[in-house]
């Protein structure tokens, strides 16, 4: 098992090199002169040229990239072109906001999805199942940035119950977490239902029933435990993508998270900040995926046995 | 017995899939809505004149609510929202379909090469796809479109590039399951070259998962298009597009919520119908359900 984890961590290195190169190359294609933009409208040609030289922007892209990577290996992500402060400052201030929002969103998603998915499966083709699945289908199809705006119209502008943006106080978490959570809830509900349906027809469930095990125990102890294996994976992957920056939701609710920071930095051509954010997002995304795989092995003894071979 | 039993009528694969799809009511609802949206997009110019109704400003009637004259009201420049939604649908569908076509062509080719040849080629392509998959797809699209500049073409390219790895993986795994079949051996034996084998023998046998993926991916491409336009990185004004219409309506949430309600509803309806159709196609194409 530990060999597998080490192998996966080692494989992360070429992926990170590839991602940083790809993003560096794409951003270097952008039209416009970064040095001129940073120097301001009133700057003369000499000032712009000096700034360009200072930032190393007069070098070929590949040299700029190599220098960036050398610094990155020493833990230095550079300074933001826009603010002049270390890139890590912005990441340290934004990332916890994104992580907290992701945590509450996934909690909302699981809180909605598991009960609906389980009841839908145990009462297949009932009214509850049909309504639950239609709602889940609509949930998957609803763009979260639109849902966010609809919630702002209702709860902030008309009823005045909740703040329309920012991250001050617990009440500011409610709408963004529900906005993000409902989309994920729809996916997890469908997955829970189909996974439960598959398990509920298994031979060992029939055996448990034949032995006279009470229905509640059959569902929650025999079926659910096995049905949850793919569901836990789905929850983990959804959590990973939430950490990857819920860019649109963060924009709608003016949430000071890493997704919004990345979009703002892209718009201002703040290359170092964009790269820093994307490196952190990629590492987080990959590590969450790795953790999901490890968790998968822990909850499914069959997979654990495969690693032991 | 002189009378011989008539041989059972043989159905083509298409007829068989269509027969099963017809039985799925939800999929048929999805198909009906998709067809309606396509018809509206095709005949948008006959329904609403682009220059006179869709982009011409008339500030005298700005921000009007729904009425008999303007069913969905008017926007901040006095333009009819229904007309803009109908024309916006054309852009969303075109961008969605073309982005998926580009992604399918590139991703499908890479996946087919990777799956067919295996070995180092497979490893190289798979690692390249891992790199693309490691960046959250919306962020990758945002980075590409902001580098290339906001336009419909760049929007398609950005969405297509971020969807390439998905297709490459699906086609790769499908090709790997088919490549060792006897009919591939037979094609090799009669001297067909690799390109012929992939194009004429392997890909036609991998179509089912690809068709399902396409119908579902058009929906997510439409969602990405509107998301990017919502961030101001997509279609530029005054061209109507659902995401940019939503974004434009944000400033008028209190006084004119209809500016955001209707475009969002259109995005939702389109994605819902494509998902219903995709789910139905998946069930209809699944050999396990074949009787």
**Chunked in runs of 10, what are the mean pLDDT values of chain A (309 residues)?**
79 85 83 78 84 84 89 87 87 92 94 91 86 88 92 92 86 93 88 87 88 87 84 85 82 91 84 85 82 77 67
Contact A248 B134 (CB under 8 A): no
This prediction's pTM: 0.85
Q: Can you list the positions of beta strands (E) in chain B?
A: none
Within 10 A of A261 (CB to CB), how many other CB atoms are there? 25
What pLDDT is stored for residue B270 in this prediction? 93
Task: Quickly tell me which residue has 């084998």 as its tokens.
Answer: B197
- Check residue B49 and give its pLDDT: 85
Please state the ipTM of this predicted complex.
Answer: 0.84
Cβ partners under 8 Å of residue B17, min gap 6: B281, B284, B285
The mean-pLDDT minimum among A171-185, B193-207, B262-276 falls in B193-207
Do A266 and B130 lie within an 8 Å CB cutoff? no
What integer pLDDT is reported at residue A169 of this predicted model? 84
Nearest to B227 among A19, A28, A145 (CB): A145
> Which 3 state secondary structure label does DSSP give B80?
strand
B85 touching A (Cβ < 8 Å): no
Q: Locate B33 and state its tokens.
A: 């809505």
Q: Does the pLDDT value for residue B290 go beyond 50? A: no
Would you place residue B291 in the very low, low, confident or very high pLDDT band (cuts 50, 70, 90)?
Answer: very low
Side-chain half-sphere CA neighbours of A162 within 13 A? 22
Which of A134, A149, A198, A241 to substitute to test the interface with B, most B CBs within 10 Å?
A: A149
Chain centre distance of CA B173? 21
State whether residue B132 sits within 8 Å of chain A by CB: yes
What gap in Å lies between CA B198 and CA B279, rounded to an integer? 27
- Portion 139-198 of B in contact with A at CB < 8 A: 139, 142-144, 146-149
Average of per-residue pLDDT values in chain B: 86
Helices (H), chain A: 2-28, 34-39, 45-55, 61-73, 87-122, 127-141, 144-151, 171-200, 203-210, 215-217, 224-243, 247-252, 258-267, 271-299, 301-308
Q: For residues A111 and B134, give the distance between their C-alpha atoms in angstroms, rounded to a whole number.
A: 28
User: Residue A63 is encoded by which pair of tokens?
Assistant: 């040299």
Q: Does A157 touch chain B (CB under 8 A)?
A: yes
Instruction: List CB contacts of B14: < 8 A, sequence separation 6 or more.
Output: none
Which residues are A86's β-sheet partners? A79
**What does the DSSP assignment read for A61-93?**
HHHHHHHHHHHHHTT---B-TTT-SBHHHHHHH
Nearest neighbour of A26 by CB, restricted to B144, B219, B264: B144
Chain A residue with Cα closest to B134:
A282
For residue B166, give every residue at least 6 positions away whose Cβ sits within 8 Å of its Cβ, in sequence order, or none: B103, B107, B213, B217
- Using a CB-CB cut-off of 8 Å, the residues of chain A touching B227 are 143, 145, 248
Q: Assess whether pLDDT exceeds 50 at residue B236.
A: yes
CB A241 within 8 A of CB A281: no
- Spatial CA neighbour of A106 closest among A192, A189, A184: A184
- Tell me whether residues A22 and B132 touch, CB distance under 8 A: yes
Measured in residues, chain A has a length of: 309
Tokens 């086609």 correspond to what residue? B171
């Amino acid at each position: 098992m530990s060999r597998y984890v080490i192998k996966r961590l080692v494989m992360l290195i070429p992926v990170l090199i590839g991602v940083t190169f790809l993003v560096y190359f794409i951003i270097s294609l952008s039209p416009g002169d970064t040095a001129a933009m940073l120097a301001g409208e009133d700057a003369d040609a000499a000032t712009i040229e000096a700034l360009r030289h200072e930032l190393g922007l007069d070098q070929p892209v590949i040299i700029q990239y190599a220098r960036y990577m050398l610094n990155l290996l020493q833990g230095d992500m550079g300074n933001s072109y826009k603010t002049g402060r270390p890139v890590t400052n912005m990441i340290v201030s934004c990332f916890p906001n994104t992580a907290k929002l992701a945590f509450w969103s996934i909690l909302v998603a699981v809180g909605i999805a598991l009960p609906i998915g389980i009841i839908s499966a145990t009462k297949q083709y009932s009214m509850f199942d049909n309504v639950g699945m239609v709602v889940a289908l609509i949930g998957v199809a609803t763009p979260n940035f639109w849902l966010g705006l609809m919630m702002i119209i209702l709860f902030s502008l008309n009823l005045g119950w909740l703040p329309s943006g920012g991250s001050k106080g617990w009440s500011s978490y409610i709408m963004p977490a529900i906005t993000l959570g409902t989309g994920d809830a729809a996916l997890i509900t469908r997955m829970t239902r189909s996974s439960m349906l598959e398990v509920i027809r298994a031979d060992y469930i029939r055996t448990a029933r034949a032995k006279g095990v009470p229905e509640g125990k059959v569902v929650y102890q025999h079926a659910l435990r096995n049905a949850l294996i793919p569901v836990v994976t789905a929850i983990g992957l959804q959590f990973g993508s939430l950490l990857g920056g819920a860019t649109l939701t963060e924009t709608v609710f003016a949430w000071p998270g890493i997704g919004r920071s990345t979009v703002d930095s892209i718009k201002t051509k703040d290359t170092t900040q964009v790269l820093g954010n994307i490196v952190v997002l990629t590492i987080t995304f990959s590590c969450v995926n790795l953790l999901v795989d490890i968790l998968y092995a822990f909850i499914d003894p069959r997979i654990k046995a495969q690693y032991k071979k | 017995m002189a009378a011989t039993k008539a041989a059972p009528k043989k159905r083509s694969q298409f007829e068989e899939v269509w027969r099963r799809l017809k039985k799925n009511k939800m999929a048929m609802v999805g198909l009906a809505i998709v067809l309606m949206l396509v018809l509206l997009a095709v005949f948008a110019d006959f329904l609403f004149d682009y220059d006179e109704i869709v982009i011409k400003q008339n500030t005298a009637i700005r921000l009007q609510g729904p009425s008999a004259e303007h069913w969905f009201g008017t926007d901040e420049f006095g333009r009819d929202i229904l007309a803009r939604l109908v024309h916006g649908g054309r852009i969303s569908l075109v961008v969605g379909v073309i982005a998926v076509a580009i992604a399918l062509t590139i991703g499908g080719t890479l996946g087919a090469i990777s799956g067919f040849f295996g070995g180092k080629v497979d490893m190289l392509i798979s690692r390249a796809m891992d790199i693309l998959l490691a960046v959250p797809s919306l962020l990758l699209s945002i980075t590409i479109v902001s580098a290339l500049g906001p336009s419909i073409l760049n929007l398609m390219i950005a969405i297509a590039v971020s969807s390439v790895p998905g297709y490459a993986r699906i086609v790769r795994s499908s090709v790997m399951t088919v490549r060792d079949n006897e009919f591939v051996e037979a094609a090799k034996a009669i001297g067909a070259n690799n390109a012929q084998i992939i194009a004429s023998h392997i890909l036609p046998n991998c179509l089912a998962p690809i068709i399902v993926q396409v119908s579902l991916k058009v929906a997510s491409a439409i969602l990405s298009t509107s998301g990017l336009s919502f961030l101001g990185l997509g279609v530029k004004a005054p061209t109507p597009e659902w995401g940019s219409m939503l974004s434009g309506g944000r400033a008028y949430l209190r006084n004119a919520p209809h500016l955001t309600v209707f475009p969002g509803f259109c995005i939702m309806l389109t994605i819902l119908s494509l998902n219903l159709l995709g789910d139905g196609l998946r069930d209809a194409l699944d050999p396990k359900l074949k009787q």
